[in-house]
Protein backbone atom coordinates (compact mmCIF):
# COMPACT_ATOMS: atom_id res chain seq x y z
CA UNK A 1 0.00 0.00 0.00
CA UNK A 2 1.16 3.54 -0.54
CA UNK A 3 0.41 6.55 1.64
CA UNK A 4 -2.12 9.18 0.72
CA UNK A 5 0.42 11.77 1.92
CA UNK A 6 -2.11 13.60 4.02
CA UNK A 7 -3.02 13.68 7.67
CA UNK A 8 -1.26 14.70 10.86
CA UNK A 9 1.78 13.34 12.64
CA UNK A 10 2.76 13.80 16.30
CA UNK A 11 6.43 14.72 16.58
CA UNK A 12 7.95 15.33 20.02
CA UNK A 13 4.79 16.96 21.31
CA UNK A 14 3.72 18.86 18.20
CA UNK A 15 1.07 17.84 15.70
CA UNK A 16 2.42 18.60 12.23
CA UNK A 17 1.22 18.01 8.68
CA UNK A 18 2.23 14.70 7.13
CA UNK A 19 4.56 16.48 4.65
CA UNK A 20 6.38 18.28 7.49
CA UNK A 21 7.10 15.15 9.54
CA UNK A 22 10.78 15.03 8.55
CA UNK A 23 14.11 14.33 10.24
CA UNK A 24 17.72 15.03 9.30
CA UNK A 25 19.50 12.42 7.20
CA UNK A 26 22.32 12.36 9.78
CA UNK A 27 19.95 11.06 12.45
CA UNK A 28 21.36 8.00 14.19
CA UNK A 29 18.28 5.90 13.42
CA UNK A 30 18.75 6.15 9.68
CA UNK A 31 22.24 4.69 9.81
CA UNK A 32 21.95 2.11 12.57
CA UNK A 33 18.26 1.19 12.88
CA UNK A 34 18.23 2.58 16.43
CA UNK A 35 14.48 2.70 16.95
CA UNK A 36 11.74 0.78 18.72
CA UNK A 37 8.14 1.00 17.68
CA UNK A 38 4.60 -0.34 17.95
CA UNK A 39 1.79 -1.24 15.62
CA UNK A 40 -1.69 -0.98 17.15
CA UNK A 41 -5.17 -0.54 15.75
CA UNK A 42 -8.27 1.48 16.41
CA UNK A 43 -11.48 -0.19 15.20
CA UNK A 44 -14.89 1.19 14.33
CA UNK A 45 -17.55 -0.51 16.43
CA UNK A 46 -21.30 0.05 16.81
CA UNK A 47 -20.53 1.97 20.02
CA UNK A 48 -17.90 4.17 18.38
CA UNK A 49 -14.17 3.88 17.74
CA UNK A 50 -12.15 1.72 20.09
CA UNK A 51 -8.45 1.06 20.56
CA UNK A 52 -7.66 -2.63 20.81
CA UNK A 53 -5.32 -3.33 23.74
CA UNK A 54 -3.53 -0.02 23.39
CA UNK A 55 -2.26 -0.37 26.97
CA UNK A 56 -0.54 -3.66 26.10
CA UNK A 57 1.06 -2.10 23.01
CA UNK A 58 2.32 0.88 24.97
CA UNK A 59 3.69 -1.42 27.64
CA UNK A 60 5.59 -3.39 25.00
CA UNK A 61 6.89 -0.11 23.53
CA UNK A 62 8.31 0.92 26.89
CA UNK A 63 9.70 -2.61 27.40
CA UNK A 64 11.45 -2.39 24.02
CA UNK A 65 12.82 1.05 24.90
CA UNK A 66 14.09 -0.26 28.25
CA UNK A 67 16.05 -3.05 26.57
CA UNK A 68 17.69 -0.47 24.29
CA UNK A 69 18.34 2.03 27.11
CA UNK A 70 16.07 4.64 25.55
CA UNK A 71 14.38 7.05 27.90
CA UNK A 72 11.80 9.50 26.68
CA UNK A 73 10.75 12.61 28.58
CA UNK A 74 7.10 11.45 28.63
CA UNK A 75 6.02 8.44 30.63
CA UNK A 76 3.83 5.67 29.24
CA UNK A 77 0.57 7.28 30.32
CA UNK A 78 1.44 10.63 28.74
CA UNK A 79 2.55 9.02 25.48
CA UNK A 80 -0.64 6.96 25.41
CA UNK A 81 -2.53 10.23 25.64
CA UNK A 82 -0.46 11.53 22.72
CA UNK A 83 -1.56 8.50 20.67
CA UNK A 84 -5.19 9.29 21.48
CA UNK A 85 -4.66 12.93 20.45
CA UNK A 86 -3.03 11.91 17.17
CA UNK A 87 -5.88 9.60 16.23
CA UNK A 88 -8.39 12.35 17.08
CA UNK A 89 -6.41 14.93 15.08
CA UNK A 90 -6.62 12.69 12.03
CA UNK A 91 -10.36 12.10 12.38
CA UNK A 92 -10.05 8.47 11.32
CA UNK A 93 -12.69 6.22 12.93
CA UNK A 94 -10.55 3.15 12.18
CA UNK A 95 -6.80 3.19 11.68
CA UNK A 96 -3.42 1.57 12.19
CA UNK A 97 -1.22 3.36 14.73
CA UNK A 98 2.57 3.51 14.64
CA UNK A 99 4.36 5.14 17.61
CA UNK A 100 8.14 5.21 17.04
CA UNK A 101 10.93 6.05 19.50
CA UNK A 102 14.17 6.74 17.67
CA UNK A 103 17.67 8.02 18.22
CA UNK A 104 17.84 11.41 16.58
CA UNK A 105 20.40 13.91 15.37
CA UNK A 106 23.65 14.50 17.25
CA UNK A 107 26.56 12.26 16.21
CA UNK A 108 27.10 9.20 14.06
CA UNK A 109 29.26 7.13 16.36
CA UNK A 110 27.75 3.69 16.85
CA UNK A 111 27.15 4.50 20.52
CA UNK A 112 23.67 6.05 20.49
CA UNK A 113 23.65 7.24 24.09
CA UNK A 114 24.43 10.88 23.36
CA UNK A 115 21.78 11.10 20.63
CA UNK A 116 18.34 12.34 21.67
CA UNK A 117 15.42 9.96 21.95
CA UNK A 118 12.74 11.43 19.71
CA UNK A 119 9.19 10.23 19.15
CA UNK A 120 6.83 10.26 16.19
CA UNK A 121 3.30 8.90 16.07
CA UNK A 122 1.79 8.12 12.70
CA UNK A 123 -1.68 6.82 11.90
CA UNK A 124 -3.16 5.69 8.61
CA UNK A 125 -5.87 3.49 7.18
CA UNK A 126 -4.64 -0.04 6.57
CA UNK A 127 -6.76 -2.89 5.26
CA UNK A 128 -5.96 -6.61 4.96
CA UNK A 129 -2.17 -6.82 5.28
CA UNK A 130 -1.78 -10.04 3.31
CA UNK A 131 -4.11 -9.02 0.51
CA UNK A 132 -7.81 -8.91 -0.24
CA UNK A 133 -9.40 -12.32 0.18
CA UNK A 134 -6.60 -13.59 2.45
CA UNK A 135 -8.80 -13.64 5.53
CA UNK A 136 -11.26 -16.05 3.88
CA UNK A 137 -9.19 -17.97 1.38
CA UNK A 138 -5.88 -18.13 3.20
CA UNK A 139 -2.38 -17.49 1.90
CA UNK A 140 0.40 -19.55 0.32
CA UNK A 141 3.68 -19.35 2.21
CA UNK A 142 7.13 -20.91 2.24
CA UNK A 143 9.59 -21.77 4.97
CA UNK A 144 12.28 -19.14 4.71
CA UNK A 145 15.90 -19.92 3.98
CA UNK A 146 16.64 -17.15 6.52
CA UNK A 147 16.57 -17.99 10.23
CA UNK A 148 15.38 -15.73 13.00
CA UNK A 149 18.15 -14.24 15.15
CA UNK A 150 19.69 -16.42 17.85
CA UNK A 151 19.16 -15.72 21.53
CA UNK A 152 21.45 -13.01 22.84
CA UNK A 153 21.95 -11.37 19.47
CA UNK A 154 19.01 -9.15 18.49
CA UNK A 155 16.51 -9.34 21.38
CA UNK A 156 13.31 -10.85 20.02
CA UNK A 157 11.21 -9.48 22.87
CA UNK A 158 11.97 -5.94 21.71
CA UNK A 159 10.06 -4.63 18.72
CA UNK A 160 13.16 -2.98 17.40
CA UNK A 161 13.58 -1.54 13.91
CA UNK A 162 16.86 -3.46 13.59
CA UNK A 163 14.98 -6.78 13.79
CA UNK A 164 13.14 -5.88 10.62
CA UNK A 165 16.29 -6.14 8.50
CA UNK A 166 15.92 -9.88 9.07
CA UNK A 167 12.15 -9.66 8.52
CA UNK A 168 12.69 -7.89 5.19
CA UNK A 169 15.01 -10.67 3.97
CA UNK A 170 12.30 -13.21 4.82
CA UNK A 171 9.56 -11.17 3.18
CA UNK A 172 11.51 -10.31 0.00
CA UNK A 173 12.52 -13.90 -0.57
CA UNK A 174 8.91 -15.06 -0.17
CA UNK A 175 7.51 -12.32 -2.40
CA UNK A 176 10.06 -12.86 -5.18
CA UNK A 177 9.22 -16.56 -5.14
CA UNK A 178 5.51 -15.79 -5.50
CA UNK A 179 4.46 -16.46 -1.89
CA UNK A 180 2.54 -14.13 0.40
CA UNK A 181 4.84 -14.64 3.36
CA UNK A 182 7.75 -16.61 4.76
CA UNK A 183 7.88 -18.65 7.95
CA UNK A 184 11.23 -18.37 9.70
CA UNK A 185 12.79 -21.09 11.82
CA UNK A 186 14.90 -20.20 14.83
CA UNK A 187 18.60 -21.15 14.94
CA UNK A 188 17.68 -24.50 16.57
CA UNK A 189 15.50 -25.32 13.56
CA UNK A 190 12.15 -24.93 15.31
CA UNK A 191 9.30 -22.85 13.91
CA UNK A 192 9.53 -19.23 14.95
CA UNK A 193 7.16 -16.82 13.18
CA UNK A 194 6.40 -14.95 9.97
CA UNK A 195 8.20 -11.75 9.03
CA UNK A 196 5.57 -9.78 10.93
CA UNK A 197 3.18 -12.32 12.44
CA UNK A 198 3.06 -15.06 15.05
CA UNK A 199 2.00 -18.51 13.94
CA UNK A 200 -0.45 -21.07 15.27
CA UNK A 201 -1.03 -24.60 14.05
CA UNK A 202 -3.73 -27.12 14.82
CA UNK A 203 -3.61 -30.88 14.80
CA UNK A 204 -6.33 -33.12 16.21
CA UNK A 205 -8.07 -30.07 17.68
CA UNK A 206 -5.06 -29.09 19.78
CA UNK A 207 -3.65 -25.63 19.06
CA UNK A 208 0.11 -25.13 19.13
CA UNK A 209 2.26 -22.00 19.05
CA UNK A 210 5.96 -21.36 19.58
CA UNK A 211 6.91 -20.34 23.13
CA UNK A 212 8.53 -17.09 24.20
CA UNK A 213 12.21 -17.72 23.75
CA UNK A 214 11.76 -19.37 20.33
CA UNK A 215 12.81 -16.05 18.75
CA UNK A 216 9.26 -14.75 18.56
CA UNK A 217 7.88 -11.32 19.26
CA UNK A 218 5.44 -11.56 22.19
CA UNK A 219 2.48 -10.65 19.99
CA UNK A 220 -0.50 -8.90 21.53
CA UNK A 221 -2.72 -10.71 19.01
CA UNK A 222 -0.97 -14.00 19.89
CA UNK A 223 -1.84 -13.43 23.54
CA UNK A 224 -5.42 -12.46 22.63
CA UNK A 225 -5.87 -15.56 20.47
CA UNK A 226 -4.58 -17.86 23.21
CA UNK A 227 -7.18 -16.34 25.55
CA UNK A 228 -10.04 -16.46 23.02
CA UNK A 229 -9.22 -20.04 21.99
CA UNK A 230 -9.28 -21.09 25.64
CA UNK A 231 -12.56 -19.21 26.09
CA UNK A 232 -13.94 -21.38 23.27
CA UNK A 233 -12.78 -24.48 25.16
CA UNK A 234 -9.78 -25.36 22.98
CA UNK A 235 -6.51 -26.66 24.38
CA UNK A 236 -3.53 -24.42 23.59
CA UNK A 237 0.05 -25.65 23.95
CA UNK A 238 3.11 -23.40 23.78
CA UNK A 239 5.96 -25.65 22.72
CA UNK A 240 8.88 -25.94 20.31
CA UNK A 241 7.42 -26.87 16.93
CA UNK A 242 9.52 -28.99 14.56
CA UNK A 243 9.39 -27.77 10.96
CA UNK A 244 7.69 -30.93 9.70
CA UNK A 245 4.71 -30.31 11.96
CA UNK A 246 3.85 -27.50 9.54
CA UNK A 247 3.24 -30.13 6.84
CA UNK A 248 1.20 -32.39 9.12
CA UNK A 249 -1.08 -29.74 10.57
CA UNK A 250 -4.83 -29.75 9.93
CA UNK A 251 -4.87 -25.94 10.05
CA UNK A 252 -2.31 -23.15 10.32
CA UNK A 253 -2.82 -19.42 10.72
CA UNK A 254 -0.89 -16.21 11.29
CA UNK A 255 -1.77 -13.61 13.90
CA UNK A 256 -0.77 -9.98 14.18
CA UNK A 257 -2.11 -6.48 14.46
CA UNK A 258 -1.65 -5.96 10.72
CA UNK A 259 -2.49 -9.53 9.59
CA UNK A 260 -5.18 -10.05 12.29
CA UNK A 261 -6.04 -13.79 11.92
CA UNK A 262 -4.99 -14.96 8.45
CA UNK A 263 -5.36 -18.64 7.50
CA UNK A 264 -2.47 -20.37 5.69
CA UNK A 265 -3.62 -22.71 2.94
CA UNK A 266 -0.28 -24.09 1.75
CA UNK A 267 3.29 -24.26 2.98
CA UNK A 268 6.11 -25.04 0.54
CA UNK A 269 3.39 -26.06 -1.95
CA UNK A 270 2.02 -28.70 0.46
CA UNK A 271 -1.68 -28.14 1.16
CA UNK A 272 -2.53 -27.38 4.78
CA UNK A 273 -5.35 -29.82 5.61
CA UNK A 274 -7.90 -29.54 2.81
CA UNK A 275 -6.27 -26.34 1.52
CA UNK A 276 -9.06 -24.11 2.75
CA UNK A 277 -9.73 -22.23 5.99
CA UNK A 278 -10.45 -24.90 8.60
CA UNK A 279 -13.22 -25.02 11.20
CA UNK A 280 -11.14 -24.08 14.26
CA UNK A 281 -9.46 -21.22 12.41
CA UNK A 282 -12.92 -20.03 11.35
CA UNK A 283 -14.23 -20.18 14.92
CA UNK A 284 -11.19 -18.37 16.34
CA UNK A 285 -11.22 -15.78 13.57
CA UNK A 286 -14.93 -15.17 14.23
CA UNK A 287 -14.33 -14.80 17.96
CA UNK A 288 -11.50 -12.34 17.27
CA UNK A 289 -13.45 -10.23 14.76
CA UNK A 290 -16.54 -10.22 16.97
CA UNK A 291 -14.35 -8.94 19.77
CA UNK A 292 -12.51 -6.20 17.89
CA UNK A 293 -15.70 -5.11 16.16
CA UNK A 294 -17.32 -4.68 19.56
CA UNK A 295 -20.27 -6.99 18.85
CA UNK A 296 -19.64 -9.16 21.91
CA UNK A 297 -19.15 -7.96 25.51
CA UNK A 298 -15.65 -6.69 26.28
CA UNK A 299 -15.13 -9.36 28.95
CA UNK A 300 -11.33 -8.96 29.02
CA UNK A 301 -11.38 -5.11 29.03
CA UNK A 302 -9.44 -4.94 25.77
CA UNK A 303 -11.35 -2.08 24.18
CA UNK A 304 -10.80 1.57 24.98
CA UNK A 305 -13.47 3.73 23.41
CA UNK A 306 -12.52 7.11 22.00
CA UNK A 307 -14.58 9.87 20.48
CA UNK A 308 -13.20 10.80 17.07
CA UNK A 309 -14.25 14.24 15.86
CA UNK A 310 -15.66 14.27 12.34
CA UNK A 311 -13.02 15.99 10.18
CA UNK A 312 -13.88 19.31 8.56
CA UNK A 313 -14.17 19.33 4.76
CA UNK A 314 -10.46 20.11 4.32
CA UNK A 315 -8.95 18.45 1.24
CA UNK A 316 -5.62 18.04 3.08
CA UNK A 317 -7.41 15.78 5.57
CA UNK A 318 -9.31 13.70 3.02
CA UNK A 319 -7.85 10.25 3.47
CA UNK A 320 -8.24 8.08 0.43
CA UNK A 321 -8.58 4.44 1.39
CA UNK A 322 -5.18 2.93 0.54
CA UNK A 323 -4.88 0.05 -1.86
CA UNK A 324 -4.73 -3.25 -0.05
CA UNK A 325 -1.29 -4.83 -0.09
Ligand X SMILES: Cc1ncc(COP(=O)(O)O)c(C=O)c1O
Please, is 75 exposed, middle or buried when counting C-beta atoms within 10 Å of its C-beta (0-12, 13-18, 19+)? exposed
Contacts (CB under 6 A) with ligand X, residues 164-183: 167
Question: Using CB under 6 A, which of the segments 99-107, 193-201, 235-243, 285-293 binds ligand X?
Answer: 193-201
Using rule CB under 6 A, residue 197 touches ligand X: yes
For residues 136 and 190, give the distance between their C-alpha atoms in angstroms, rounded to a whole number: 28
Using rule CB under 6 A, residue 125 touches ligand X: no
Contacts (CB under 6 A) with ligand X, residues 252-271: 255-257
State the minimum distance, in angstroms, from the CB of residue 195 to ligand X: 6
Question: In the complex with ligand X, which residue's Cβ is closer, 89 or 267?
Answer: 267
For residues 308 and 293, give the distance between their C-alpha atoms in angstroms, rounded to a whole number: 16
Q: What DSSP letter does each residue of 25-80 carry, written as one string?
A: TT-HHHHH--EEE--EEEEEETTEEEEESHHHHHHHHHHHHHHTT---SS-HHHHH
State the minimum distance, in angstroms, from the CB of residue 185 to ligand X: 14
Which residues, including other chains, have CB under 8 Å from residue 77's CB and lie 6 or more apart?
Answer: none
Question: In the complex with ligand X, which residue's Cβ is closer, 116 or 218?
Answer: 218
- Set 14, 159, 171, 269: catalytic member: 159
Question: In the complex with ligand X, which residue's Cβ is closer, 63 or 106?
Answer: 63
Distances (CA, A) of 39 to 88, 96, 220: 17, 7, 10
Closest CA to 288 of 228, 215, 232: 228
Using rule CB under 6 A, residue 45 touches ligand X: no
Using rule CB under 6 A, residue 222 touches ligand X: yes
With CB under 6 A as the rule, give the number of residues binding ligand X. Answer: 14
State the minimum distance, in angstroms, from the CB of residue 166 to ligand X: 9
Distances (CA, A) of 84 to 170, 241, 320: 33, 39, 21
State the minimum distance, in angstroms, from the CB of residue 312 to ligand X: 32
Question: Using CB under 6 A, which of the segments 79-87, 202-210, 219-227, 276-284 binds ligand X?
Answer: 219-227
Question: Does 159 participate in catalysis according to the annotation?
Answer: yes
Q: Give phi and psi for 260, each to the nearest 5.
A: 55, -115
Are the beta carbons of 160 and 70 closer than 8 angstroms? Answer: no
Using rule CB under 6 A, residue 198 touches ligand X: yes
Question: Using CB under 6 A, which of the segments 85-93, 126-134, 202-210, 220-228 binds ligand X?
Answer: 220-228
State the minimum distance, in angstroms, from the CB of residue 94 to ligand X: 16
Which residues, including other chains, have CB under 8 Å from residue 296's CB and lie 6 or more apart?
Answer: 287, 290
State the minimum distance, in angstroms, from the CB of residue 214 to ligand X: 11
Among 7, 99, 196, 273, contact with ligand X (rule: CB under 6 A): 196
How are the residues of the chain apportioned to helix, strand and coil, as percentages rounded to the nearest 5?
Answer: 25, 30, 45
Q: CB atoms < 10 A from the CB of 173, how many? A: 16
Question: In the complex with ligand X, which residue's Cβ is closer, 86 or 257?
Answer: 257
State the minimum distance, in angstroms, from the CB of residue 99 to ligand X: 12
SS (H, E, C) 171-228: HHHHHHCCCCEEEEECCCCEEEEECCCEEEEEECCEEEECCCCCCCCCCHHHHHHHHH
Question: Using CB under 6 A, which of the segments 15-23, 24-32, 216-224, 235-243 binds ligand X?
Answer: 216-224
Question: In the complex with ligand X, which residue's Cβ is closer, 70 or 167?
Answer: 167
Using rule CB under 6 A, residue 42 touches ligand X: no
Enumerate the active-site residues: 159
Catalog residues that contact ligand X under the rule CB under 6 A: 39, 167, 193, 196-198, 217, 219-222, 255-257
Amino acid sequence: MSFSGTGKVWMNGKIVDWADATIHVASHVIHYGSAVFEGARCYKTPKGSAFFRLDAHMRRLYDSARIYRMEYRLDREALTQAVVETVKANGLPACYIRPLLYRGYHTLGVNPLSCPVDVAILVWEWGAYLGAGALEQGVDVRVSSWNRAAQNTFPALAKSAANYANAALIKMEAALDGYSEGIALNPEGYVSEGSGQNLFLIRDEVIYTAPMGASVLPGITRDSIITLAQDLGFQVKEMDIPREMLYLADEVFFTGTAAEVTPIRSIDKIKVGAGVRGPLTTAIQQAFFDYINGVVPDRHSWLQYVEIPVPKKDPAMAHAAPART
